[in-house]
Amino acid sequence: MGKTKFIVWILLSSVAVSCQKGIYKEKNHNSKSSEAVQEAAETLSQFRGTSPFNLDDERLILWEKFQFFSDNLENTTFKEYLKKTEEEAVNMEDTIPILYLYREGFNKVLYEVKNSKVEHGSTLVWMLYNMGFVVKTPSGCYGIDIDHRLAEQLEPYLDFLCITHNHGDHYNSKLVEAMVNQGKPVLSNFYKDSPEYVSSTAASYKIGNFTIRTDLSDHLANPDFPDFVTLFRIEGGEDAGNFSILHCGDSGFNPAHFKNVEGDVNMVVLRWGAPRENNILGSGEGQVKPNYALLSHLIELRHKPYPHGQASITKTLEHLPNVNANTILPFWGEKMTWKNGVMY
């Protein structure tokens, strides 16, 4: 790396860290919080001082703590938590570290989506949970695969919603219903209450300044689920710095299913960097050439810990060197900014 590029990288990393700290403040754990939750709060505070663009030793240690917190929660307990009243849920968050982090990630995204003013020529991208993202530009805001117990609270700030497939860890029914009740588009291959935007074949849409192209893929290369996953390529206008994102959902990553979304793209959302995900990276037919590849679906609390369902951070880090793109590994609540052709 040349001296000039190194200096630019250092500056962008510093900006990214300052953006993570931002104006949102984590909830102070109260006197009822368990020692484990106090540790989680301290871990999160330290983590907010790192950057998703710099996977150094400090960030890796903190990531491993998140994985430890996750592995110590039974998936059945998480499913019960999702059904609890608000008071009951808060009580659980005061005693279970990963649930504290789950709430705080959402609170940060909600606060920043509501309060952030996006500069002309730029785009803000938040990772919410699992494969859920919120993207905000100067002229609009949308969500992809938004799944969270509190997801409905995002409805006032979203102009449209995209859902890659009909699995509960990729959408929230209350948010979907709230969007439709407000006359807002919900794009999917299955939700018929938004009839203009449901399609089981490759399609194209124009919503405000956003251009959307889709294609259909099997689910995790399973021949029993053909055309089950919609791939979403969304491009912002000039006001958004022409930012483009391709969300792959739980795709099988077969280039034959990516022909309608192929080409150069600023950000591609992969899963956890498994070897087959590289199949779509390149310049050939059905391939994409991203500026950045983002790994997701690492801690989904409905699933049992690795190797029985969840993707683990340990295995993801083993995959990381083999992903043929600039790779980002964000955690819940983190914000990334696109400006002047660079993400930071």
Assess whether pLDDT exceeds 80 at residue 113. Answer: yes
Residue 325's pLDDT band, with cuts at 50, 70 and 90, is confident
Q: What is the pLDDT of residue 28?
A: 59
**Integer angstrom CA distances of residue 88 from 153, 175, 206, 279:** 18, 21, 42, 45
User: Which CATH code is given to the segment(s) 3-343?
Assistant: 3.60.15.10
Residue 45's pLDDT band, with cuts at 50, 70 and 90, is very high
pLDDT in tens, 260-270: 999 999 999 99
How far is 146 from 66, CA to CA, in rounded Å?
21
Q: What is the pLDDT of residue 30?
A: 59
Q: What is the pLDDT of residue 5?
A: 38
Assess whether pLDDT exceeds 60 at residue 3. Answer: no
The pTM of the full predicted model, rounded to 2 decimals, is: 0.92
pLDDT in tens, 51-77: 999 999 999 999 999 999 999 999 999
- For 37, the enclosing helix (H) or strand (E) is helix 35-47
Report yes or no: 246 and 268 within 8 Å, Cβ to Cβ.
Answer: yes
Residue 22's pLDDT band, with cuts at 50, 70 and 90, is low
Cα torsion 109, 111, 112, 114: sign = positive
Domain-by-domain residue ranges, the chain? 3-343
Q: What is the mean pLDDT of residues 155-182?
A: 98
Q: What is the pLDDT of residue 32?
A: 65
Report yes or no: 304 and 26 within 8 Å, Cβ to Cβ.
Answer: no
The CA-based angle 294-107-341, given to 5 degrees, is 35
DSSP assignment of 70-83, as one string?
HHTS-HHHHHHHHT
Report yes or no: 107 and 133 within 8 Å, Cβ to Cβ.
Answer: no
Q: What is the mean pLDDT of residues 312-335?
A: 91
> Which range (81-95, 97-111, 304-318) has the least confidence?
304-318
**Integer angstrom CA distances of residue 262 from 231, 289, 324:** 11, 8, 16
> Which range (25-29, 175-179, 241-245, 257-261) has the least confidence?
25-29
What does the mean pLDDT of the chain come to?
92
